[in-house]
Amino acid sequence: MAYSELIKNFNRVRGYMREFFVYGFKSREDYTQKSLRSYDNERRRIESWLGDYMRFHQTAEGKIVFLSIDSRRVRHNPFYRAWKSKSFTDGAVTLHFILLDILAGPEDVHSLAEICEQINEYTALFDGATAFDESTVRKKLNDYVREGILEKLRRGRSVYFRRSSSPPYYSRDVLDFFSEVAPCGVIGSFLLDKSPQRESHFSFKHHYITTALDSEVTAGILDAIKRRKNICIRILNRNKNSVSEHLVTPLRILYGVQSGRQYLMAYHLRSGYINSYRLDRLLSVKTEKAAAEFDALREKLDRMQSNIWGVSTWCRTKDSLETVTFTVCYSDSEGFIHERLEREKRCGSVERLDPNHSRFSAKLYDSSEIIPWIRSFIGRIVTIEFSNREIEERFWSDLEEMYRLYHQDEEVKG
Amino acid sequence: MIFSELYGAYYNVLAGILQIAVSSPPLTPEDLHRIVEERAFSESLWQLEALLKNERWPLLKTDGSTALKHPPTMPLTLLQKRWLKAISLDPRLKLFCDEPLDFPGIDPLFTAADVGCYDQCQDGDPYEDENYIQNFRQILDALHRRCPLRIHSLDAAGRKRYADVMPDHLEYSEKDDKFRLQCHRGRSSMTINLARIIRVSPSDREIQPSPGKLRLPKQGQVEFELIDHRDALERVLLHFAHLEKEVRKQDALHYVVRLSYDQQDETEILIRILSFGPMLKVISPPHFVDQIRERLRRQKERPL
């Protein structure tokens, strides 16, 4: 089959784009899950969409391809381009433009038979153009009613079609901003494509653009939440290279603006627990039956979130939360340390003990989640205590390892 | 469905081409090149040219004429309306307009109860504050009109200051939940936190350089060795994914990562590297290594 820059299934490129952008150290031969030809085609497509950001370097293992993007310097997420690469059939594109031309104004209301007749008048101008049968046209019209582009009207026993009204929407500034910060921002990018081009007045710092790659599963989950439906999720288990299926009640999407990760918080129907699932590991989302316990489960999650540092709901000690307390010190001119604790405390609490000491404490389901944040205060920690001794021991042993890592050169020199 | 040809680059290109074919025929090769360059991908031109030359789609004749009677337009899809309704509920929308648009009978795609952030700083900008909103709008207006502004603000120490500046753009940090104005002041660049602005007014000062040539912050580079224990490779690379970087594999467990960052953010980068503990060891630059050593030394000296 001849190469095309358009694709049918987004999941084919989703994994490659993440690999090229997030990892960016693999050679062609390292991509073993698909054939080398598949790799070549996907790499070529991604280069066609994102060529400005594609970089290469040569190693003993071969040529390394990676995407290098400083998201602070781009005004629009480059990954949105990939969402505009859906392939289509000749019939689909022809019908799209002819149907919307027949139903161009609000006064254009036609039956299926009238539409079919008019389509023939359009195509008759072209030698050898394929005629469309009534069932194909009916299917396309019904698809467009579901998409919201067209409306179906019933007059007696007859069915008519007309285009939906299109309300005015927000300015380009609103779309420039929210297409980058709102969930499923790619939809805002679709709207921007219809506006006259000009440079955005907004840039973004700490901007994790890979979340764009998960837009389809995000939209599927949000739709199910809105409709209070259970979903069946297919998850790619990276370590085992296997796929598993789970029936869950979706409750909320949580995202980290300091980690670049997005999670589905959902009640797992078989295990009876509320768990977190990485969105970038979800291959698909399928809507199932109504979620009868949705409201009660969401209330439960609300309560739980006052004891969750990140997304982990896993409690090692049944029915008992883990406690974490630490105290930091600072000089008279370093009051910003206390302010930083206040700003970043999340579900914890901060107490100023004296002009030079502040204490943080929290009760958490999983206290291991807070360790990276505590490490960012290294040099200032004067007391620290975890109710979970195993976690505390790991904190100390990691610190010892850091002393060793950074001072071994000095010891050798000494 | 998000991945749909309805939103695709080729449909957008065709809409542009057909618009010219209907409104101001004939379509020239230059028109085609321009539209493809604006709306599609680097390999689209030769693919589309071949398709159009063969009259593969009975929409456009080889002489550039079309059977369509109207310039092509597409109503908003339900998905687009639901997304627009969702952003209508966002408190930050007030920065742009007084009243959100109404989309009767449309369910928002999401609300604040459906989506949340777990690690955002808790001192975000006051989006409901009337003075803040007014300042934001004045700055945005000046960006549109490319006009200089006089900005009265408080500095980090709480002292009142003013500056005549040419706004370049607004920068938003999702982590801090704050807007900053990036602007020109004379030949230098300046950053002003919007929440610290007291008052904005037009300035009659002529300010060079012209907008669009803002000097970029000085870049720093840090190189560290990554030891892939406890899934560190994935965690670290995703964590720093928003920065320009290069990764080299040393062996199955060891990688060398080089990150580029704005030098004014060095302390932030340093504490983020520290947060990964012994999974990362900074190799260069020497002053960065020294800062980490110093923090570790201070920690070791504390009697715990």
State mean pLDDT over A367-386.
97
Is the pLDDT score of A318 beyond 50? yes
Residues in A closer than 8 angstroms to B233, CB to CB, are: 23
Q: Name which of B79, B119, B212 is nearest A187 (Cβ-Cβ).
A: B79
Which of B83, B147, B253 is best to mutate for the A interface (most A CBs within 10 A)? B83
Contacts with A, B 211-230, CB within 8 Å: 212, 216
The confidence score (pLDDT) of residue A13 equals 92
Q: Measure the CA–CA gap between A297 and A303, rounded to whole angstroms.
A: 10
Q: Is the dihedral of CA B183, B186, B189, B190 positive or negative?
A: negative
> Do A343 and B268 meet the contact criterion of CB atoms below 8 Å apart?
no
If we measure between CA atoms, which residue out of A75, A105, A85 comes closest to residue A41? A85
Nearest to B239 among A180, A260, A311 (CB): A260
**By CA distance, what is A216's nearest residue in B?**
B2
Question: Which residue shows structure tokens 């392939």?
Answer: A87
Kindly state the percentage of chain A with pLDDT values over 90: 79
Spatial distance between the Cα atoms of B245 and B251, rounded to a whole number of angstroms: 19
Average pLDDT over residues B265-272: 96
- Which of B46, B76, B176 is the best residue to mutate to test the A interface, defined by the most A CB atoms within 10 Å of its own CB? B76
- Tell me how close the Cα of B30 comes to any Cα of chain A, in angstroms: 18
Spell out which residues of chain B touch residue A147, defining contact as CB-CB under 8 Å.
4, 6, 77-79
Q: Which of B115, B154, B245 is nearest to A264 (CA)?
A: B115
- Would you state the pLDDT for residue A254? 98
- pLDDT at residue A4, as a whole number: 87
- Eight-class DSSP state of A106: T
The pLDDT mean for chain B works out to: 93
Residue A22 has φ and ψ, to the nearest 5°, of -75, -45
Which residues of chain B have a CB within 8 Å of the CB of A379? 294-296, 298-299
Residues 253-272 of B with CB under 8 A from A: 255, 260, 262, 271-272
State the virtual CA torsion across A277, A278, A283, A284 in degrees, nearest 10.
50
Q: In chain A, what residues touch B114 (CB-CB under 8 Å)?
A: 222, 225-226, 252-253
- Phi-psi category of B63—alpha, beta or left, where left has phi over 0 and alpha has psi -120 to 50? alpha
- Closest to B112 (Cα-Cα) out of B78, B81, B80, B88: B88
The CATH class, in words, for B219-301 is alpha beta
Chain B interface, best mutation among A6, A27, A97, by max B CB count within 10 A: A97
The answer to whether the Cβ–Cβ distance between B281 and A406 falls below 8 Å is: yes
Contact B289/A at CB under 8 A: yes
On the CB side of A398, CA atoms within 13 Å amount to: 23
What topology does CATH give the domain B130-202?
A: SH3 type barrels. (2.30.30)
B219-227 and A274-278 strand pairing: unpaired
- For chain B, how are helix, strand and coil distributed in percent, rounded to 5? 35, 25, 40
| DSSP character at residue A180 | H
Q: Which residues contact A201 (CB under 8 A, 6 or more apart)?
A: A173, A176, B140, B143, B144, B169, B170
Cα–Cα distance for residue pair B212/B174, rounded to 1 Å: 23
Whether B211 shows a pLDDT value over 70: the answer reads no
CB contact under 8 Å between B61 and A201, yes or no, is no
Partners of B103 on chain A (C-beta within 8 Å) are 167
Query: What radius of gyration, in Å, describes the C-alpha atoms of chain B?
Result: 26
Ranking A29-33, A47-51, B149-153 by mean pLDDT, the lowest is A29-33
Q: What is the pLDDT of residue B52?
A: 83
Q: Residue B247 and residue A178: Cβ atoms within 8 Å?
A: no
CB distance A256–B97 less than 8 Å? no
Task: Give residue B287's identity as a one-letter amino acid code.
Answer: H
- For residue B249, pLDDT beyond 60: yes
pLDDT of residue A414: 45
Average pLDDT score over residue span A318-338: 93
CA distance, residue A156 to nearest chain B CA (Å): 25
Q: Give DSSP secondary structure letters for A215-279.
A: HHHHHHHHHHHHTTEEEEEEEEETTTTEEEEEEEEEEEEEE-TTT--EEEEEEETTT--EEEEEG
Residue A411: pLDDT band (50, 70, 90) is low
Q: Could you give the CA distance from residue A16 to residue A47 in angstroms, rounded to a whole number?
A: 11
Beta-carbon neighbour count of residue B2 at 10 Å?
19
What DSSP string runs through B115-131? EEESS--S----TT-HH
Tell me the pLDDT band of B205, cut-offs 50, 70 and 90: confident
Q: Do B72 and A101 touch (CB under 8 A)?
A: yes
Q: What is the largest CA-CA distance in chain A?
A: 96
B41 and A49 in contact (C-beta within 8 Å)?
Answer: yes
- Do A66 and B255 lie within an 8 Å CB cutoff? no
Choosing among A1, A10, A23, A108, which should be mutated to test the B contact, i.e. which has the most B CBs within 10 A?
A23
A310 to A88, A241, A346, A366, B94: CA distances (angstroms): 41, 26, 9, 9, 30
Beta bridge pairs of residue A351: A359
Angle at CA A208, nearest 5°, toward A205 and A210? 150
Is B278 in contact with A401 (Cβ distance < 8 A)?
Answer: yes
Cross-chain Cβ contact B72/A97 below 8 Å: yes
State the Cα–Cα distance between residues A383 and A389, nearest whole angstrom: 15
CA B169 to chain centre: 11
| B262 interaction partners in chain A (CB closer than 8 Å) | 72
Task: Judge contact between B5 and A88, C-beta under 8 A.
Answer: yes
Q: Do A379 and B295 touch (CB under 8 A)?
A: yes
User: Across the strands, what pairs with A409?
Assistant: none
User: Is residue B210 over pLDDT 70?
Assistant: no
- Of the given ranges (A200-204, A332-336, B44-48, B161-165), which has the lowest mean pLDDT? B44-48
CA distance B199 to B195: 11
Mean pLDDT of B158-172: 95
For residue B229, the chain A residue with the least C-alpha distance is A398
User: Can you give the pLDDT at residue B140?
Assistant: 98
* Spacing of C-alpha A186 from chain mean position: 10
Of A88, A96, A259, the CB nearest to B238: A259
User: Hey, of B14, B115, B234, B263, which one would you mutate to test binding to chain A, going by the most A CBs within 10 A of its CB?
Assistant: B115
Domain boundaries, chain B: 1-74, 130-202, 219-301
Q: Which are the contacts of B194, defined by CB distance < 8 A and separation ≥ 6?
A: B125, B132, B135, B136, B139, B170, B178, B179, B180, B181
Cα A353 to Cα A328, A356, A404: the distances in Å are: 10, 8, 32
For chain A, report the end-to-end CA distance as a whole number of angstroms. Answer: 66
CA distance B126 to B92: 9
| B245 and chain A in contact, CB less than 8 A | yes
How many CA atoms lie within 13 Å of A135's alpha carbon, on the beta-carbon side?
A: 0
B248 part of contact set with chain A, CB < 8 Å: yes
What count of CB pairs under 8 Å joins A to B?
381
**C-beta separation of A322 from A365 below 8 A:** yes
Contacts of A287 (CB under 8 A, 6+ apart): A220, A223, A224, A227, A229, A230, A231
Interface contact B289-A406, CB threshold 8 A: yes
Residue in A370, A325, A330 with CA at minimum distance from that of residue A350: A325
A169/B101 touch (CB, cutoff 8 Å), yes or no: yes
Nearest CB neighbour to A253, from listed B57, B114, B119: B114
CB atoms within 10 A of CB A168: 7
B283 touches chain A (CB under 8 A): no
Confidence of residue B209 (pLDDT cuts 50, 70, 90): low
Window 93-132 of B, Cβ < 8 Å to A: 93, 96-97, 101, 103, 107-110, 113-123
DSSP string, B275-299: TTGGGEEEEE-HHHHHHHHHHHHHH
The pLDDT tens digits for A123-168 are 998 888 788 999 999 999 999 999 999 999 999 989 999 999 988 8
B-chain CB neighbours of A348 within 8 Å are none
C-alpha to C-alpha distance for A211 and B148, rounded to whole angstroms: 36
